[in-house]
Structure 1
């Protein structure tokens, strides 16, 4: 967590523009480093207190989530689908550490949401990291939709293909076969197919067929 937290601190500090913000952030970091139950309660209040700046909510959610405090869950899920990719990365890392059983369902809902496809990259990657029961079905559904759509969103489709390759789930064989016919996905889909077809539960050709 230390390297990730240091990167978060450096990024947030660079975005602050007034002495008041810098002072407020120093106070927040003091709470983070306190590590007492009372400090954790104050961090949790940052998540729900009105008029808190986004950087404060992000920092508090990351710290609480990374230490397994499930009060950070809702804030982290909101940031996982945020328009700023760097915040999505931070949220995904904290959610992966959080250990909340709701995480995979939330990531699957974000990854499969057709009106948020542009922001699906980090939910997809989180699903792959979690290897939850929801992971492969969500990636399969998203890839099927993108292959059939007018706008294929190639970076998102490629993330689905690569994720399915990492998961090696034989249920993905039909959609990976379809994906391999698209030049933008052929190499990644062929590699993913090889992994899926090597799974012990993958269907085997009938003798002589």
Structure 2
């Protein structure tokens, strides 16, 4: 049980109010601890059973996701798109470990949706961690839109800048130069451009050593 899951359990436990909720909570924990095929099947049933509370689905999805059980995918993507940042963060952590090939496409769709920009921080960070083919195009599209918009949504723009620097793709250079003109993005953009320049130099050094 990693720290992310312990934090999730502490948060959920603080939300419980009735004896029935505490009983259901303990039952879920028992299934997570059992970690056999039968227990995982019961956790998967929690994801689709009617009238189960969100916290129960969240625990079941996280437990399955970090074990690589793809039955958790739909619930985790739903939570990644949730309005509470703490739930988005938990879902992103599990999705990064699920290794479902659909994850990057789903995260890119959330990141590039103009109606969901305010909730895109954790999808941006997830795309950076995944280093998928969708990562750079999605971050570039979103950053370019935010640089041109009246509402720059600085936290999301900064996360895109940092993500593009971490990914180290030269396609981002012109957009990062444009981001550098904005005072709130300048430190992150300068650092990202330096990472791109350093990576280019390292690649050049490797190419030279091979001739």
Into which bin does the TM-score normalised by the smaller protein fall? over 0.9
Cα displacement (A) at 1:194? 1.6
Which structure's residues are more often helix, by fraction? 2
Aligned-CA RMSD value: 1.5
SS of the residue 2:178 aligns to: helix
Which runs of structure 2 are paired with 1:1-40 in the superposition (5 Å)? 1-40=1-40
Q: What residue in structure 2 maps to residue 192 of structure 1?
A: 192
Cα distance in structure 2, aligned partners of 1:181 and 1:35: 52
- Give ranges in structure 2 of 5+ residues lacking alignment: 205-211
Which runs of structure 2 are paired with 1:30-69 in the superposition (5 Å)? 30-69=30-69
- Give ranges in structure 1 of 5+ residues lacking alignment: 205-209
Cα distance in structure 2, aligned partners of 1:136 and 1:101: 16
Q: What residue in structure 1 maps to residue 127 of structure 2?
A: 127
Cα distance in structure 1, aligned partners of 2:77 and 2:171: 27
SS of the residue 1:199 aligns to: helix
Q: Given the alignment of the two structures, is residue 106 of structure 1 paired with residue 141 of structure 2, yes or no?
A: no
Q: What residue in structure 2 maps to residue 82 of structure 1?
A: 82
Q: Is the 8 A contact 1:173 1:197 kept in 2?
A: no
Cα distance in structure 1, aligned partners of 2:116 and 2:41: 33
| CA-to-aligned-CA distance 1:72-131 (integer Å, 9 cap, x gap) | 000000101111111111101100000101111111111111000000000000001111
**Greater CA drift, 92-101 or 29-38:** 29-38
Cα displacement (A) at 1:2? 2.1
Q: How many residues align?
A: 203
Q: Describe the shift of the 1:117–1:90 C-alpha distance in structure 2 as closer, same or farther (beyond 3 A).
A: same
Runs of 4+ in 1 over 2 A off after TM superposition: 197-202
TM-score normalized with structure 2 length:
0.93
